[in-house]
Amino acid sequence: MNFELNDEQRMLSDSLTRFLGDKYDFEARRRYMAKDGGYDPAIWRGYADLGIFALPFSEDEGGLGGSSVETMIVGQAMGYALTNEPWAEAMAIAPSLLQAGSADQRASVAEGIIGGDTLPTWAHLEPGMIDRGEDIATTATADGALSGTKTVVSFGAEANLIFVTAKGPEGLGLYMVKGGAKGVEARAYKTQDGKRAAELSFDGTPSEKLTGGIAAAEAIALAEARALSAVMAESLGCMEKAIEETVEYIKGREQFGRAIGSFQALQHIAAGAVVEKEQVKSMAMYASVMCDDTDAQARDLALSAAKVKMCDASREVGQMSIQLHGGVGMTMEYAIGHYFKRLTMLEIAHGDRDFHMDRLCEAGGLAA
């Protein structure tokens, strides 16, 4: 057992952090958000050029065969820089869903993602869906014509490859739709944390079914697990930056003739946030290792435990960051509010605290 990163992992972290430091400060982020589709394709291309999209794919698929630890390193840097692009869809979700596909399907889709030509997303949630992975109302015919409505699809209007969960004649299946395919209607919007998403409706839309790999339900569960691990990493990066920003602010802000950071009441609030962030860091590492576990139940319970911890810590760190900034923390102008909003969206992404508490409670908790 050890918690240290190896040399290659440290290099990955350094090079991505440097790239984001150069290209993704808070002002640049505003410019990207104002572009058509809410992102800059050159940045997506830049990620591909750094090689990060090759990490999660196996060597057979044309990738580098990295583990979820690499995805964690990427996620932490993305969270820290508050990036908007659907990197987790490319690095956590797509490689997992593709496990339901044939070797040819995996290799051809991987090629597009690794090279930066493909912006993938997953149309999974539906309006009125009460549990994740069940109650799918979208249907697929035997020849793959899809009909139904999907909600909050990340970059749903911009993505050129859409994985769709649907019920076919043989039960739950995974289907791939090309961006701009016939019968797809997108109602696009911005999200609370500055990303883009869309409601997508399909009306006899042609698709390609993933066949030849593991069962769709298994691939979906794997995608959810890895997406949760990505959420842990991204939220860790957000918390680190939120604490840094807050500490910088209270060092500089003067009231009553002195820096407010010299007041013990504020110091102890900030120190409490550090304690919570450190617990999240531990759980992000645990999640990244456990999401590759071959025991699906142990994997899912571990990810649920991580998410519960993240939800509690996110409230504490996010809310204290705004509180210690005072009035300026409320403004659109300061970065801190944007970190708070991202953290809040990550709390509810891929199952909220109640969903994961239920899953743990029903199983009687983690294995002893």
Partner 1 sequence: MELTFTPEEEAFRKEVRDFIDANLPDETRDYLKRGNPPTKEMTVQWHKTLHAKGWATPRWPAEWGGPGWSVTQMYIFQQENQKAGAPDPQGFNVGMIGPVLIQFASDEMKKEFLPKIASLDYWFCQGFSEPGAGSDLASLKCKAEWDEAGQQWIVNGQKTWTTYAQHADWIFLLVRTSTEGKKQEGISFLLVDMTSPGVEVHPIQTMDGAHEINSVFFTDVKVPAKNLIGEVNKGWTYAKFLLGNERLGAPRVGASQAKLEELKEIAKTRIVRGKPLWDHPRFRDKFVEAQVELKALEMTTMRVLSSMEAGADQSKPDPATSVIKIKGAQMVQRMTELFVEVAGEQAMPWTDGELGDNARIGDPWVERAAPNYFNFRKSSIYGGSDQVQKGIISKAILGL
- Site for partner 1, rule CB under 8 A: 1-6, 9, 69, 243, 247, 250-251, 261-262, 264, 267-268, 270-272, 274-275, 278-283, 285-286, 288-290, 305, 308-309, 357, 360-361, 364-366, 368
Question: Rounded to the nearest whole angstrom, what is the least distance from the CB of residue 283 to partner 1 in the complex?
Answer: 5
108 or 282, CB closer to partner 1?
282
Which of helix, strand or coil describes residue 161?
Answer: strand
20 or 69, CB closer to partner 1?
69
Question: Rounded to the nearest whole angstrom, what is the least distance from the CB of residue 295 to partner 1 in the complex?
Answer: 11
Please name the amino acid found at residue 232: M
The span from the CA of 307 to the CA of 220, in Å, is 18
Which of helix, strand or coil describes residue 186?
Answer: strand
Question: Rounded to the nearest whole angstrom, what is the least distance from the CB of residue 271 to partner 1 in the complex?
Answer: 4
Cβ 168 vs Cβ 135: under 8 Å:
no
The span from the CA of 337 to the CA of 330, in Å, is 6
Cβ 86 vs Cβ 119: under 8 Å:
yes
Sign (positive or negative) of CA dihedral 35, 26, 234, 231: negative
Q: How far apart are the first and last CA of the chain?
A: 18
Question: Rounded to the nearest whole angstrom, what is the least distance from the CB of residue 103 to partner 1 in the complex?
Answer: 29
User: In 3D, which of 286, 291, 289 has the Cα closest to residue 306?
Assistant: 286
User: In 3D, which of 204, 130, 140, 202 has the Cα closest to residue 174?
Assistant: 140
35 or 251, CB closer to partner 1?
251
218 or 292, CB closer to partner 1?
292
207 or 246, CB closer to partner 1?
246
Structure tokens, 318: 């996010």
5 or 217, CB closer to partner 1?
5
108 or 267, CB closer to partner 1?
267
Burial of 1 (0-12, 13-18, 19+ CB in 10 A): exposed
Question: Rounded to the nearest whole angstrom, what is the least distance from the CB of residue 297 to partner 1 in the complex?
Answer: 15
Question: Rounded to the nearest whole angstrom, what is the least distance from the CB of residue 191 to partner 1 in the complex?
Answer: 28
69 or 93, CB closer to partner 1?
69
The span from the CA of 82 to the CA of 91, in Å, is 17
User: In 3D, which of 132, 187, 207, 135 has the Cα closest to residue 358?
Assistant: 132
91 or 247, CB closer to partner 1?
247
The span from the CA of 210 to the CA of 217, in Å, is 12
Question: Rounded to the nearest whole angstrom, what is the least distance from the CB of residue 366 to partner 1 in the complex?
Answer: 5
The span from the CA of 11 to the CA of 16, in Å, is 8
Question: Rounded to the nearest whole angstrom, what is the least distance from the CB of residue 268 to partner 1 in the complex?
Answer: 5
The span from the CA of 362 to the CA of 126, in Å, is 24
Question: Rounded to the nearest whole angstrom, what is the least distance from the CB of residue 336 to partner 1 in the complex?
Answer: 16
